[in-house]
Chains A and B, each alone.
Chain A
Amino acid sequence: MKLDKGLVSGSTTLLILNLLQNEDMYGYQMIENLERRSNNVFTLKAGTLYPLLHALEQQSIIKSYDVEESNRTRKYYSLTDIGNKVLDKKKAEWVTYTKAVNDVLGGLQYATV
């Protein structure tokens, strides 16, 4: 997968795709959700999120649609079939990676990470 290096900050893509697997979301919702679920560990800047979303959409990993809400239009993003495959691959990579790190560190329980 080709992504602008500046756009991928570690596992951001993985986290976003994972969020979208469960439900379609708009940008602000993603940031809020990530913060809440990670107990404020992941504070994603909008300035990082939107360029990344647009790049992912261009690669057909996600797609967007507009929803008219009261007085404004919200742009929702959803995972495509390609996106689902990318997510599975990235998850597998992540598991391998964390397992390797744990093995090196030793002693830590895999499940707690």
Chain B
Amino acid sequence: MQQFENGIEQFLYTVCEQVCYKKIHSKLSDELRTHIYDQKSAYMNKGMDEEQATQKAIEEMGDPIIIGRQLNQTHKPKTEWSLIGLTAIIAIIGGIIMYTSSKFESMQAVNFGRYLLFSVIGIGFLIGLYFFDYTKLKKLSLPLYLIGFTVLFLTLLIGNQIQGRRLLLIGNVLIPSDYATLLFIIAFAGFMEKSRGKGVLSIIKVIGLAVLSLLPVMALPNLSQAIILIVGYATLIILAVIKDHFCVIRKLQILSLLAFMGVAITSITLLLSQYRFERFITFVTRGKSDPMGEGWQQIQADKWLSVSHPFGKTTETVSGYKIDFGMPGLTSDYVLINVISTLGWIVGIAIVMIIALLIFRMIRTTKKIKNEYGFYLSLAACSVLSAQFIISILINFNLFPLMSVNLPFVSYGGIGYIVNMMLVGIILSVWRRNNLIEKSPITVIANRETY
């Protein structure tokens, strides 16, 4: 008896040996094993003895090496090189700008060594996530959510208030709350997956968790982070409704979507009033309503854009000041102005186009993801990255109310930089495993006739 099994297992082993992607080995073996057993019983019914039947059933399968190689073609891990390439170009332009900014004579000069350190850590995390099996994150949804929530809560309790916002001080390093975006968005993708087909209550639960996570972020207060999280959550919920994810009456889904939007818009409005409504007015008037106060940065931004050259560094000054003295936020919110005035308009336009292409590629990649959880995870990463890119570019051209949003991979930002690299890593990781034909596994307990 055992010896017959050995022949079958040997066959399956040889097939699997050809398939690089180890995770599917067991499912693949199961499928082929069942087939061999079926074939074997058929031969035995025809009167063969077990040994003969087993041997013939294995022979009938064909050459295990050829089968394995063909299956490997289908299940090869895939790499989305366009995402890596585009991210690299943006990060290199960022690196050049950080280098020139390290030569600034003003307080705005950055520490290039520190920048490089964070870049290396960020790229390390990206590579790590690429090879990491993202499906393991699903189980961590609630822990990640709770960690994010607890650390934010701790920041509120014992954090230092710096420029009106609470920041956590560990040793002598200030920790901005960017980590929370990553933790919450990963957790939220998991919550969405768990609520698949669970009906009305699950919608309320998911929206409740989303709103709850926004509270400590808004209390910091970090308006830009809250907006980016809302964009992420809303994208996931909207797509879920379109895909009929919760399996309830569509009207109800749309109603809950409206409820979420309502809560989101109300909270933003509340925050805006806290941030003074004048900011909105200064935005509408491009800073002219209060040129020496609230609108000063917008006015300066427009001035520096107008004196920038098509190519290369502008030699002009505004009101007698060089750019690092005359323009605030050059390595953070207004980094694109830094790019345009240092490297010229052509590089500035090029980087905007590369970013557009990256967003387009991220969406296209996400659309093709078959695993439900992978789809939500990739979509979350994609929407959070895109929101940062788009809002930051708009702010630089005075097309969005001023708030602190970094341009991913270009702005100087320790944890934020690492978080954004990790978001790209997540998309790459999901795509890499897309060929593993294991959608959200549906197992049906047999209630059907077989013959």
Of B42, B67, B74, the contact of A55 (CB 8 Å cutoff): B74
Binds A, one of B57-65, B86-94, B124-132, B401-409: B57-65
* Interface flags, B34-55, vs A, CB<8A=1, else 0: 1101110010000000000000
B35 contacts A46, CB within 8 Å?
yes
A54 contacts B442, CB within 8 Å?
no
Given known A46-B62, A57-B437, A60-B370, contact A65–B74 (CB-CB < 8 A)? no
B316 interface residue, CB < 8 Å from A? Answer: no
Of A6, A26, A60, A70, the contact of B70 (CB 8 Å cutoff): A6
Closest 5 CB pairs of A and B: A47-B62, A51-B70, A28-B38, A69-B446, A47-B67
B34 contacts A74, CB within 8 Å?
yes
Residues of A at the B interface (CB closer than 8 Å) are 4, 6-7, 26-28, 32, 45-48, 50-51, 54-55, 57-58, 60, 63-70, 72-76
* Interface flags, B1-33, vs A, CB<8A=1, else 0: 000000000000000000000000001001110
Residues of B at the A interface (CB closer than 8 Å) are 27, 30-32, 34-35, 37-39, 42, 60-63, 66-67, 70-71, 73-75, 370, 435, 437, 439, 441-446, 448, 450
Q: Write out the residue numbers on chain A whose beta carbons fall within 8 Å of the beta carbon of B370.
A: 60
Q: Please measure, in the bound complex, the distance between the C-alpha atom of A73 and the C-alpha atom of B435, giving whole angstroms.
A: 21
Q: Please measure, in the bound complex, the distance between the C-alpha atom of A55 and the C-alpha atom of B437, giving whole angstroms.
A: 9
Can you list 22 A-B pairs, Cβ within 8 angstroms, ordered by A?
Answer: A45-B61, A45-B62, A46-B35, A46-B60, A47-B61, A47-B63, A50-B32, A50-B71, A51-B70, A51-B71, A54-B71, A54-B437, A55-B73, A58-B74, A58-B435, A58-B437, A65-B443, A66-B444, A67-B443, A68-B444, A72-B34, A74-B446
Q: Write out the residue numbers on chain B whose beta carbons fall within 8 Å of the beta carbon of A54.
A: 71, 74-75, 437
Q: Please measure, in the bound complex, the distance between the C-alpha atom of A74 and the C-alpha atom of B73, giving whole angstroms.
A: 23
Q: Write out the residue numbers on chain A whose beta carbons fall within 8 Å of the beta carbon of B31.
A: 27, 50, 75
Q: Which residue of A lies closest to B38 (CB)?
A: A28
Expressed in whole angstroms, the minimum distance between the Cβ of A15 and any Cβ of chain B is: 18
Given known A48-B62, A50-B32, contact A65–B446 (CB-CB < 8 A)? no
Expressed in whole angstroms, the minimum distance between the Cβ of A65 and any Cβ of chain B is: 5
A64 contacts B437, CB within 8 Å?
yes
> 14 additional contacts, CB 8 Å, given A45-B62, A46-B32, A54-B74?
A28-B34, A28-B35, A46-B35, A50-B32, A50-B35, A51-B74, A57-B437, A58-B74, A66-B444, A67-B443, A73-B443, A75-B27, A75-B30, A75-B31
Q: Which residue of A lies closest to B451 (CB)?
A: A29
Expressed in whole angstroms, the minimum distance between the Cβ of B345 and any Cβ of chain A is: 41
B66 contacts A47, CB within 8 Å?
yes
Q: Which residue of A lies closest to B36 (CB)?
A: A46
A28 contacts B39, CB within 8 Å?
yes
Q: Main SS of chain B's interface residues? A: helix
Q: Write out the residue numbers on chain A whose beta carbons fall within 8 Å of the beta carbon of B32.
A: 46, 50
B34 contacts A73, CB within 8 Å?
yes
Q: Please measure, in the bound complex, the distance between the C-alpha atom of A75 and the C-alpha atom of B28, giving whole angstroms.
A: 10
Q: Which residue of B lies closest to A46 (CB)?
A: B61
Q: Which residue of B lies closest to A49 (CB)?
A: B35
Expressed in whole angstroms, the minimum distance between the Cβ of A32 and any Cβ of chain B is: 8
Q: Please measure, in the bound complex, the distance between the C-alpha atom of A86 and the C-alpha atom of B437, giving whole angstroms.
A: 20
Expressed in whole angstroms, the minimum distance between the Cβ of B44 and any Cβ of chain A is: 14
Q: Please measure, in the bound complex, the distance between the C-alpha atom of A5 and the C-alpha atom of B28, giving whole angstroms.
A: 22
A50 contacts B67, CB within 8 Å?
yes
Expressed in whole angstroms, the minimum distance between the Cβ of A17 and any Cβ of chain B is: 17
Q: Write out the residue numbers on chain B whose beta carbons fall within 8 Å of the beta carbon of A57.
A: 437
Q: Which residue of A lies closest to B64 (CB)?
A: A47
Q: Which residue of B lies closest to A60 (CB)?
A: B370
Q: Please measure, in the bound complex, the distance between the C-alpha atom of A63 and the C-alpha atom of B437, giving whole angstroms.
A: 9
Q: Write out the residue numbers on chain A whose beta carbons fall within 8 Å of the beta carbon of B67.
A: 46-47, 50-51
Q: Which residue of B lies closest to A72 (CB)?
A: B34
Of A4, A47, A70, A73, the contact of B73 (CB 8 Å cutoff): A4
